[in-house]
Structures are given as C-alpha cells and as structure tokens.
Amino acid sequence: MKEITIEQTTDMILAACQAIIDNKPYLTEVDSQTGDGDHGIGMAGGMEKAGNALREKRPFPDINSIFKTTGMAMLNSMGGASGVIFGSMFLGGIKGLSPLPVLDGDGFARIMRGSLEAIKARGKANVGDKTMVDALEPAVIAMENSDRSDLTALLGIAAKAAEEGVENTKNYIARFGRAKSLMERAIGYQDAGATSVSILFTSMYRYLQELQKTEG
C-alpha cells in the first residue's frame, strides 16, 4: 500500500499497542535477565492507556494527532525514563511537522527519524549501548536507504532491521540502566527496550499486510 488514511493509521497504532500488551510476559522475561523485570509491566500499562486515549479521541484531524495522543498517554502514565523515551518515539517525530492528511512511506520515515533524534538527544544513547536505539536506528536508516513508495514494504524493511538490531544487542555491554552494572555478564542477553521497538514495527507491518489482503 502506498499510503493509509487517518482512520487506518489509528487502527495500525492500536494494533501496535495491543501487540505490546500481548507480549507483556515475554518483555518481562527479557528484562528480568539483565534488568529489574518491570519493562513489560510499564510498556503494557503505557500502551493500554494509549489505546484507551486513541479510542476515546478518534476520529483525529490528522496523522500528527494520532502520534501525539499516543506519546502523551505513554509519557503521562509510564513515568520514569521509559515513559520519556518511549513517549518520545511518538512525540519527537511530529515536532514542527506540518499536519499530514495521510501516512505514506516518506511521512513515516520522516516521523521515525525525528523520533530517533529526539530519543538520542534525551537519553544520549548510541548504537552499541544496548538500548532501544539499537533497534530504532537501524530501522530508520534502512527506511531512508530504501524505496519509500510502498508503505507496507517499507514497514517490512524496518521490522527486519529492528529485529536484527535486537539480535545485535546480545553482543553488547550495557551502558545504561541496571544492566550497566553487569558489565560483560550482560553479553548474551537481548535488550528489552530494543525488543519493544521490534515488536512495534513488526505489529505495524502485520497490520498493513492484513489490510492489503482485505483491500485486494
């Protein structure tokens, strides 16, 4: 699909919210290996609030409002560093962006680039630090280096790059959070934040695949 409507974008983000909620036990398990095990609880809680806000406020006037509503709900409900960082994933990319009437490949790649820059400015993490940036930055770069005329194909490319980024976190020593104290003992375990990013991209891609089937 080349582009999706405001309503379809709302449904796509709702699908992403549900995917995180469904993966709460998995994210908890991943985080328990190197962190304090609360990542799944925090993410699922934030996405539940975001989903409720999206359902309550729809229909939206533009694409930007969907991302803003999602990000603000996460920011206000999650608290702590995760709330700020994952809220920024939805809020950072729309800052200063003209209202979008539809979501296409160029628009999505631009939003995610803005999100990445906002997250890096706030958290100071780079690729190799065993954080969500390890999944998000490869996804953004992969999108920017690809043909963006087909949104579905673009999300597939982003999802694959994010998944590979998660795998790569197993090779890194953590530089942030509780896992930082583990030093080399964190090697061999994937990062929970990067895992959440991968789940988000994969769920959005799957939503578009299903939508494409129904629309023939």
Mean pLDDT value of segment 114-136? 96
Residue 138 has pLDDT above 80, yes or no: yes
Residue 54 has pLDDT above 90, yes or no: yes
Q: Please list, in sequence order, all residues whose beta carbon lies within 8 angstroms of the beta carbon of residue 155, skipping any fewer than 6 positions away.
A: 108, 201, 204, 205, 208
pLDDT, one tens digit per residue, over 171-184 is 998 887 666 666 67
Mean pLDDT value of segment 30-36? 89
pLDDT at 35: 82
Other beta carbons less than 10 A from residue 55's beta carbon:
11
> Where exactly are the structural domains of the chain?
3-214
pLDDT band at 34 (very low <50, low <70, confident <90, very high): confident
> Pick the residue with more confidence: 196 or 36?
196
Mean pLDDT value of segment 204-216? 93
Residue 139 has pLDDT above 80, yes or no: yes
Residue 155 has pLDDT above 80, yes or no: yes
Strand segments, DSSP code E, in the chain are: 3-4, 103-104
| Contact predicate 179/186, CB 8 Å | yes
pLDDT band at 79 (very low <50, low <70, confident <90, very high): confident
**What average pLDDT does the chain have?**
94
The fraction of the chain above a pLDDT of 70, given in percent, is 95
Residue 210 has pLDDT above 70, yes or no: yes
**Residue in the structure block whose two tokens are 């160029």:** 106
The fraction of the chain above a pLDDT of 90, given in percent, is 88
Residue 6 has pLDDT above 80, yes or no: yes
| CATH (residue range 3-214) | 1.25.40.340
Residue 186 has pLDDT above 80, yes or no: no
Q: Please list, in sequence order, all residues whose beta carbon lies within 8 angstroms of the beta carbon of residue 60, skipping any fewer than 6 positions away.
A: 6, 10, 66, 69
CA pair distance 32, 82, nearest whole angstrom: 16
